[in-house]
Amino acid sequence: MVKWEYKVVPIKTQIHSDRFHADRKPVIDDVQNDLNALGDEGWELVSIQDVHLPDDRIFTVAYLKRKK
């Protein structure tokens, strides 16, 4: 039987609406690099979720898994 371990991490996103890629998509700093680093450690991204706090702040959480 395969056993899994899980990791829940906040995703730090900073979207720059004043900077765009050639295809007009906004620049999102470091998210791809952070996820690639976790992938290099064997983590697979399973899901993401925006979490709304009572004070109206919003942050993104990533759920990852890898074999034990």
pLDDT of residue 15: 59
Q: Give pLDDT tens digits for 41-67.
A: 999 999 999 888 899 888 889 999 999
Interval 11-39 mean pLDDT:
71
Say how far apart CA 56 and CA 68 lie, in whole Å: 37
User: What are the domain boundaries of the chain?
Assistant: 4-67
pTM: 0.73
Say how far apart CA 6 and CA 46 lie, in whole Å: 10
